[in-house]
Structure 1
Amino acid sequence: MMNQKTHHFLVLLLFFCTIALAQQYKSLNYFEIAIQKKAKSDKSQINFNKAQYFFLKKEWDSTLVYSMKQLNSKSDLETKNYCHYFRGYSLKKKELYKQSFIELSLVNKSFQYYYLIDNNIGHLFLLEKKFKKAIIYFLKAEKEILNHKDEDEIATLYTKIGICYVHLEQFDKAEYYFKKDVLINPKRATKSIIRSNINIANFYYAQYKDQQAVYYFKKAYTLSKSVKDFNLKKDATFNMAIVEENRGNFKKSLEYRKESEQWSDSVNNQNKIWAVADYEKKFAVAQKQKQIKVLEVQNKLKNAERNAFFFAAIGLLLLLTTGVYFYAQKIKNAKIILLQKNKLDELNATKDQLFSIVSHDLRSSVNALKTSNAKLSATLETKNYDQLNQLIIQNSTIANGAYSLLDNLLHWAMLQTKQLYFHKESVHLYSVVQQIEYNYKPLLLDKTITFENSVSKNIFIFVDLDSLKIVLRNLLDNAIKFSNENGKISFYSEDTNTDFCKLIIEDSGIGMKESTIQELLSDSELLSKKDNSEIIGTGLGLQLCKQMIKKNSGTLAIESELNKGTKMILSFPKTIV
């Protein structure tokens, strides 16, 4: 029993440390109000207004861009202090701790909210496990934080101080801060309070004070029911499962584990993609059938009216006029029904063809992986390490291809069902290309392909950042796939002195025929297999790119010759300054 408890203790202690390090400082309502008031007081500072807007929206990349623009312009000391704070906080959120410390250190001590600087620097030291320094800065910030009487903020501060003392093995001081009244007797349930109760429980559990630990585990679990944070619910439930397992109550432990697993289920689970697609299809079919039935009922009513007018007709002319009128109505309804039926058939054909193509490619990938694994097992016995290395690289390539196909399928399905949210903003094109290059560095090195980023560093385009990344990833992935070893891929821009900027992606690969280009650029919504399908694939990635480029008000053109490479020419609207 002791061995089992020791094992679970280690799991809980690791979990406790993870919670402590993952907990971030929460922006306060009064500080947010102060930021908004400053922005309204001087609307001429456009970059500051945008920086504070994106800061409150927690969009850190955009916050960094506009705060730097404001710092590069003429600004008073207070505005500079706000901008340095925005940048320090955003860099901390992006886990760039050294850069965050530098920005926070640039804030002048005359800043009205300088205690926030102390609190954030303390948190940086906590993340870097410099606990004594962290405590010094937390205690500097304590007085001002207490003055604001924000229970959630105070609870977060005392929890972080307690965590520092735990790591310093000063358990009396840790217990003192963990048992502050704001932590154990909260006025309302918040995420920080629940995390604090979990930390208190783990603190006692680490010292084998099981009775006190169980009390706070149960309290955290109860409080978690009143918040909407699924991760927090999962953590509290998982702890209860371990507690019940150590107490020998395996039936109750199993119930908690099942509940924990339910909270950890992801909406984007790949196994649910097909179920969602099937549900969408059934829903669409049901809606169309319902409309057809309504039209059929309306048609029958029209026929009944026509019959009534027929029998009640007084003269031949009135009878003829009435007959013509209702006949026209019938033809009109029949055309409507036919058009809707054709639309439904087209939707079903698109769905069936998509399923057929994707399932064929997935089956091919899985079969190739199965065959390669069989060879891998046979090669292990012969200890042919060169062949083993080739098979491992082959398996990795197949797995990456299958993952890219599923990722494109997910985004395509979300785009078709209008679940993708597009938020256009000013994007620094060079930085995005640089990030895409970093993500694909291993694939480029594997084929010894030279990558050149010649995009102008002065270009900002107005697009949705996430969809732009999806487009560039797909096009770079295709360029790598169709390039030979020791080839070259270039990203460069052309400024045509218009409202649009051109981005060219050029490779020295195998190229394509003019007929293939025309087929790829056609407006057809149906997917189709191309010649040499084992190389070309489903075409889903390019379909996705075309739709996302269109959503961003851009255009796509292709220039290519066989064995002379390909140019993918994209144009996007520039940011209007």
Structure 2
Amino acid sequence: MYLKGEKVLKAITDDFYLKEFKELKLGQIHLLLRNYKTAIKYYSKWNYNNTEDSILKRNVFHNIGLCYLHLKDYKKSESFFEKEFIFIKKKDTLELISYKTDLANVYYNQYLDDDAIPLFKEAYDLAKRYSSIELKHNTSKNMAIVERNRKRYKESVAYFDEYVKWKDSIWNRDKIWELTEKDKKIAVAQKQQEVLLKEEELKREKVVRNGLLAGTSGLLVFIAGLGFFYKKLKDKNKLINQQKEALSVANATKNYLFSVVSHDLRSPINSIKRQHEQLAKHVANKDMNAVKEVTNSAIAVTESTSHLLNNVLHWSLEQSNQLIFERSSYALAPLLDQVLFDYEDIAESRNISISQDFKEGLLVNVDKESLKIVLRNLIDNAIKYMNGAGSIDVTSSKESEIQARIEIQDSGIGMTAEQLAKVNSLKDLSIDKIDRSKGVGLGLLLCQTLVKKNQGALFFESEEGKGTKAVILVSLV
């Protein structure tokens, strides 16, 4: 496919007004094909002084640095990585991790361990605070290799254990996607089978009428036999009922997750499709302001879809006891800071201000990652139901001698009395409690489940048109 892409791009004439964009794409193709010298040739035709797009500059400098790294021209590679760093903002965690890792490899390949190892460690520490499982997986692997080469085998084994844990998490996530795809194919096959059966049903009606009498007689015999076996199996009813109940819960969970994939994803996918069509139209009209507007809208839809898939993943892992859960002692304020940091750009793009007031010195006994999942869901909901510009206030305080209190107050649309009663009445948690018309979705159910596992409590205070306050109570150390 890369070769086909190269052929199409080369067919574009040199008088095309986006000629440099064409060269950059050709450079990217040859980088992916590992033709590093050819990639550099195309990238060198780009004049970065002709653009003010800092993201584009950062990405191109990064790719050129990678080419020189693979060609073992470490001096030039380092030079381009340093150029990339100029355009990386402090809050761009993903880009910082990539930059530090690549620059560390430049030094490590030159046996400059004193320069390389601190960078590997900084990338690893940043990845621990970032949501990407792949980054945690890669950076922990790097640290395991570094410590092994330093003959610090105890530390290497610890990093390797962490690497294996994240590798298993990636496998679980990909397995859920694979199962979802299989379920979709099965559903399509079932629908096709239903159509065929309907056609055959019309043909069989005449035969069925003639065989009705014989069928009735057979049914009576079947009922008599069923009564006999029922008497024999009466002692096993209790076990059968328990299995039936468990099967019903599992079936309801499967049906709901399938519904999420087949129904809830349809709207954002169609929306992204329409936005791509609009994007193509605006590019053809050279309306760059409209291109930026459509791109921002597409990013928002993608974020919402990613949030939905994360909830499906976390719920599935939790229900199958595969979600890693380890309660330990953590400082609450830095943990809240980490979560809010990831929402600064999103909130700013929607004219939503986020303020915070954290009581310092609070140590809580929680599973850090599951509490982050709860906080992200609640902040996502606050942004989602904001109805335009507004504010979100996040505070922490000491509720009692044994509990800390976290409040997330928004100025959004609020909830009706019926919706508030519904979300505050969730005590026995199961998939059949979901009723999105009353504000109870998979995300809220997941929040209640994880807070309960942390031996805490979650409840809401709200008034329609005046915003919502989510309150989380967790144990103090």
* TM superposition score category, shorter chain reference: 0.5 to 0.7
Equivalent position SS for 1:370: helix
Give the drift of 1:530.
2.2
Tell me the distance in 1 between the aligned counterparts of 2:371 and 2:35.
Answer: 50
Give the drift of 1:127.
5.8
Give the drift of 1:518.
2.8
Give the drift of 1:330.
4.5
1:273 aligns with 2:177: yes
Give the drift of 1:375.
1.4
Give the drift of 1:228.
11
Give the drift of 1:128.
8.2
Give the drift of 1:514.
2.1
Find the counterpart in structure 2 of residue 14 from structure 1. Answer: 69
Counterparts in 2 of 1:228 and 1:481: CA distance versus 1, 3 Å? closer
Superposition pairs of residues 87-236 of structure 1, within 5 angstroms: 123-126=113-116, 156=149
Give the drift of 1:529.
4.3
Counterparts in 2 of 1:524 and 1:496: CA distance versus 1, 3 Å? closer
Find the counterpart in structure 1 of residue 219 from structure 2. Answer: none
Structure 1 contact 495–501 (Cα < 8 Å) conserved: yes
Number of equivalent positions? 310
Find the counterpart in structure 2 of residue 27 from structure 1. Answer: none
Counterparts in 2 of 1:520 and 1:5: CA distance versus 1, 3 Å? closer
Equivalent position SS for 1:494: strand
Tell me the distance in 1 between the aligned counterparts of 2:373 and 2:436.
Answer: 22
Give the drift of 1:513.
1.2
Tell me the distance in 2 between the aligned counterparts of 1:510 and 1:367.
Answer: 26
Structure 1 contact 513–562 (Cα < 8 Å) conserved: yes
1:551 aligns with 2:453: yes
Counterparts in 2 of 1:563 and 1:12: CA distance versus 1, 3 Å? closer
Find the counterpart in structure 2 of residue 439 from structure 1. Answer: 342
1:373 aligns with 2:276: yes
Larger radius of gyration: 1
Residue from 382, 385, 394 that aligns with 1:482:
385
Q: Deviations along 1:490-510, whole A, 9 cap, x unmatched?
A: 111232333111111111111
Equivalent position SS for 1:509: coil
Find the counterpart in structure 2 of residue 498 from structure 1. Answer: 401
Give the drift of 1:17.
6.6
Tell me the distance in 2 between the aligned counterparts of 1:337 and 1:553.
Answer: 33
Q: Which runs of 5+ in 1 are unaligned?
A: 20-93, 98-121, 130-151, 159-190, 193-226, 232-262, 283-299, 305-325
Residue identity opposite 1:530 in structure 2: R
Q: Which moved more, 1:264-273 or 1:396-405?
A: 264-273
Counterparts in 2 of 1:540 and 1:4: CA distance versus 1, 3 Å? closer
Counterparts in 2 of 1:427 and 1:153: CA distance versus 1, 3 Å? closer
Superposition pairs of residues 10-409 of structure 1, within 5 angstroms: 14-15=69-70, 123-126=113-116, 156=149, 266-268=170-172, 270=174, 272-275=176-179, 330-409=233-312
Tell me the distance in 2 between the aligned counterparts of 1:497 and 1:229.
Answer: 35
Residue identity opposite 2:324 in structure 1: Y
Q: Deviations along 1:326-359, whole A, 9 cap, x unmatched?
A: 97x8533123323322331232122112211332
Give the drift of 1:524.
4.7
Counterparts in 2 of 1:277 and 1:464: CA distance versus 1, 3 Å? farther
Residue identity opposite 1:471 in structure 2: V
Tell me the distance in 2 between the aligned counterparts of 1:274 and 1:559.
Answer: 40
Residue identity opposite 2:69 in structure 1: L
Counterparts in 2 of 1:507 and 1:15: CA distance versus 1, 3 Å? same
Find the counterpart in structure 2 of residue 530 from structure 1. Answer: 436
Equivalent position SS for 1:393: helix
Counterparts in 2 of 1:95 and 1:428: CA distance versus 1, 3 Å? farther
Structure 1 contact 509–566 (Cα < 8 Å) conserved: yes
Counterparts in 2 of 1:336 and 1:485: CA distance versus 1, 3 Å? same
Return the TM-score normalized by structure 2: 0.56
1:462 aligns with 2:462: no
Tell me the distance in 2 between the aligned counterparts of 1:487 and 1:380.
Answer: 32
Counterparts in 2 of 1:457 and 1:277: CA distance versus 1, 3 Å? farther
Residue identity opposite 1:445 in structure 2: E
Tell me the distance in 2 between the aligned counterparts of 1:514 and 1:375.
Answer: 41
Tell me the distance in 2 between the aligned counterparts of 1:546 and 1:573.
Answer: 15
Structure 1 contact 447–484 (Cα < 8 Å) conserved: no
Structure 1 contact 412–544 (Cα < 8 Å) conserved: yes
Structure 1 contact 506–568 (Cα < 8 Å) conserved: yes
Equivalent position SS for 1:542: helix
Q: Deviations along 1:237-277, whole A, 9 cap, x unmatched?
A: xxxxxxxxxxxxxxxxxxxxxxxxxx999514547534289
Q: Deviations along 1:124-155, whole A, 9 cap, x unmatched?
A: 434689xxxxxxxxxxxxxxxxxxxxxx9999
Give the drift of 1:474.
1.1
Counterparts in 2 of 1:496 and 1:520: CA distance versus 1, 3 Å? closer
Equivalent position SS for 2:314: helix
Find the counterpart in structure 1 of residue 476 from structure 2. Answer: 574
Structure 2 contact 406–471 (Cα < 8 Å) conserved: yes
Structure 2 contact 460–471 (Cα < 8 Å) conserved: yes
Find the counterpart in structure 2 of residue 511 from structure 1. Answer: 414
Structure 1 contact 433–453 (Cα < 8 Å) conserved: no
Give the drift of 1:436.
1.1
Structure 1 contact 499–573 (Cα < 8 Å) conserved: yes
Tell me the distance in 2 between the aligned counterparts of 1:437 and 1:467.
Answer: 15
Q: CA RMSD in A?
A: 4.4
Structure 2 contact 458–470 (Cα < 8 Å) conserved: yes
Equivalent position SS for 2:437: coil
Tell me the distance in 2 between the aligned counterparts of 1:460 and 1:154.
Answer: 31
Counterparts in 2 of 1:498 and 1:451: CA distance versus 1, 3 Å? same
Residue identity opposite 2:437 in structure 1: D
Percentage identity across paired residues of the two chains: 28
Tell me the distance in 2 between the aligned counterparts of 1:431 and 1:264.
Answer: 27
Find the counterpart in structure 1 of residue 213 from structure 2. Answer: none
Find the counterpart in structure 2 of residue 540 from structure 1. Answer: 442
Tell me the distance in 1 between the aligned counterparts of 2:344 and 2:161.
Answer: 39
